Amino acid sequence: MTVRFVWRHIARSRLKTSLTIALAAGFTIGLGAIRLSIADNGEKIDRLYENTPVEAELLQADTSVTFPGGGFLRGSTVDALLESGYVTDAYLEGASSGAAVRYTEDMEKSGGISAGGDDVSDCTIRAFADEGTFLSAAGSGEGAAITYLDGWDASLFAQDWYGSFPVVLPKALYDQLEAGELGKIGLSCRGFRVCEAAGYYEGSVDGADAYPILAPLSAYRQLSDSRAPTYCKAHVTLDPALNRELERFTEIVNDAAASQGTLLTALRAVIWDGELRQAVEPLERALSLMELLYPVVLVLSLLTAAGMAVLFVLMSAKDAAILRIQGTSRLRTTVIFVLQQGITVLAGLAVGLAGSLLWTGVRPELAGASLVRAALYLAAAVAGTVLSAASVTGKNPLEMLQVKE
């Protein structure tokens, strides 16, 4: 009898039933949409942080200070940077001062630059492992063009060299030392080596006091075991997994710079994270807005559920009075109102959950939150119904009949 009575009243009260279902479904779908937006934006931000490469470079804090050959970075500083765990790839340019001399056969026997006589030219050395980067905007040789002799190509810079190694000379020095005819030159730089002439270049090299001799980085590091190499450029690619910790990377650079001591210049890190920031910041602002909006809408939905339940019970006070006069107990009358409101709310929640499922697809991380929201909404509606029904049925039935609907 109770269920049949409830069903008849639900069917007769079409407007109240439709409004209850629409509100429950609307809030369920709306909250699901906000939650989906939060989840999607969070995933997009994570993907951007994890897949957007960020590059950085160590520069002189005071560019007015100059160093022989341009090498302002100590090797230990670069090693500390590479071992920090933040760097996945690095482009380095070694820089030092030295001297070049025309090759003679006696040079290899004496092992010294004095064997070359008076034809000695002061020079600087630039060493690198990647010719493509050196000739690009990321390197120092964007304004240079290299011509290789027969048998040599750009791969020479990437090879590991011990003892004698090839070099590429500036065109003027190449002609002066007759490197094309002799095939070799003598090079003094933290020791003495006889080097193969692999070619020449024309154009300029950034940051060099004079037109430098270009050498493989591996050979430059092996020139002298007693003195650590110095560098003029350290351009690194950072680990995308640590993109959220770029401030910590700056601290590491500052610590590494402090380890250089007073003999070399202070350093600063320039981090090129503009692409990452331009992509992430709008999403982070949208995510913050959604995270702020979500609890507000959730609370509003619960208050609406409870408020609508109270309103509908008060509008049905005459029905409650009739039930009480006919001998229906207060508890049963309250149960009838709870069932009326609960069934319609459940119908609305079912519609809303189905709509959310069709929209978002099967996503376990969202399904659990949707069920929790539905349970809270139902609990708010039942609580509003119980409280208002207890208030209404607690009055004298004859007084309740005086209520005008």
pLDDT at res. 164: 85
Q: Which residues of the chain have pLDDT under 50?
A: 114-116, 262, 404-405
What are the Cα distances from residue 37, in Å, to 18, 271, 294, 299, 329?
28, 30, 10, 18, 48
Amino acid letter, 379: A
Residues 175 and 73 in one domain: yes
Q: What is the pLDDT of residue 171?
A: 93
* 8 Å CB contact between 101 and 185: yes
Residues 22 and 121 in one domain: no
In a domain, 54, yes or no: no
Residue 58 included in any domain: no
State residue 132's pLDDT score: 93
User: Per the confidence metrics, is the pTM higher than 0.85?
Assistant: no
Residues 138 and 185 in one domain: yes
* Same structural domain, 111 and 226: yes
What contacts 308, CB < 8 A, 6 or more positions away?
A: 19, 20, 23, 381, 384
> Would residue 51 count as lying in a domain?
no
Q: What is the pLDDT of residue 81?
A: 83
What tens digit of pLDDT does each residue of 201-249 get?
999 888 766 689 999 999 998 875 556 788 889 898 888 888 888 888 8
Pair 209, 307 in one domain: no
Say yes or no: 339 and 387 in one domain. yes
Q: What is the pLDDT of residue 147?
A: 95
Residue 365 has what pLDDT? 64
Residues 41 and 134 in one domain: no
Asked if 29 and 74 sit in the same domain, the reply is no
Report pLDDT for 111.
Answer: 56
| Long-range pairs of 365-372 with CB within 8 A, sequence gap ≥ 24 | 365/39, 366/32, 366/35, 366/36, 366/39, 369/35, 370/28, 370/31, 370/32, 370/35
Domain that holds residue 24: 2-46+279-400
